[in-house]
Amino acid sequence: MRLNVPYVSQLGDGATLPDDCGQASTLTLLLHYRRVTARVAVDMLSRDTYGKTTAPQLVSLASRYDLPMAYDTAQNPDRGLLAAFEAGHPVILLVNYADLGFPVHLVGGVNQGLHWLVGTGQDEDGNWIVNDPLWVGSQGAGLTLSPARLKAAYRRYRVFHQDAKPLLAGA
Ligand SMILES: [Ca+2]
């Protein structure tokens, strides 16, 4: 089950400012829900809310584009996650980057600290599929993480469309 979610990089043209994973992830949802066109760049969101972002800041940022979002602090990252995807809702997740176990693909290595990325589906083997903005080009689109890997990396914030809230609050 995979949602067809646009990929937004935080390293490309139009994403020139630092620590813009939250802005790139929010723009991913704005594009998914058609609140903006592809002409809107990550930098436009960063000029509104600059640098490292908290969950409430992402909710506030999305509200400026008429996207009603909410967040929770679920202990288990995959609680209700598949149900949210099946209902058409990608979910932004806070992780500790190094714990994702990705190969080194950045000049600065993978010790990037806290990081937002977008969960978009689950593959046939039960692995979670994510769009990670911290890759150049579209290399971060559709990456897979085992459930154990996501659980290890997750840092207790999920941000999503308000309509997904009952699903994520369920089993
Ligand atoms: Ca950037």
- The runs of H, that is alpha helices, within 42-102 are 42-48, 55-63, 81-86
Q: Which domains does the chain have, with CATH numbers?
A: 21-162 (3.90.70.10)
pLDDT above 60: residue 171:
no
The per-residue pLDDT for 108 is: 82
pLDDT above 80: residue 22:
yes
The per-residue pLDDT for 136 is: 94
**Distance from the alpha carbon of residue 134 to the mean position of ligand 1, in angstroms:** 8
pLDDT tens profile 62-71 = 999 999 999 9
**Distance from the alpha carbon of residue 26 to the mean position of ligand 1, in angstroms:** 13
Residues linked to residue 69 through DSSP beta bridges, in sequence order: 161
**Distance from the alpha carbon of residue 89 to the mean position of ligand 1, in angstroms:** 25
**Distance from the alpha carbon of residue 11 to the mean position of ligand 1, in angstroms:** 5
pTM: 0.97
What's the whole-number mean pLDDT along residues 154-160?
98
**Distance from the alpha carbon of residue 135 to the mean position of ligand 1, in angstroms:** 10
**Distance from the alpha carbon of residue 10 to the mean position of ligand 1, in angstroms:** 4
7-12's contacts with Cβ under 8 Å and 24+ in sequence apart are: 7/131, 7/138, 7/140, 7/141, 7/142, 8/42, 8/131, 8/133, 9/133, 9/134, 9/135, 9/136, 9/137, 9/138, 9/140, 10/42, 10/133, 10/134, 11/133, 11/134, 11/135, 11/136, 12/136, 12/137
**Distance from the alpha carbon of residue 28 to the mean position of ligand 1, in angstroms:** 14
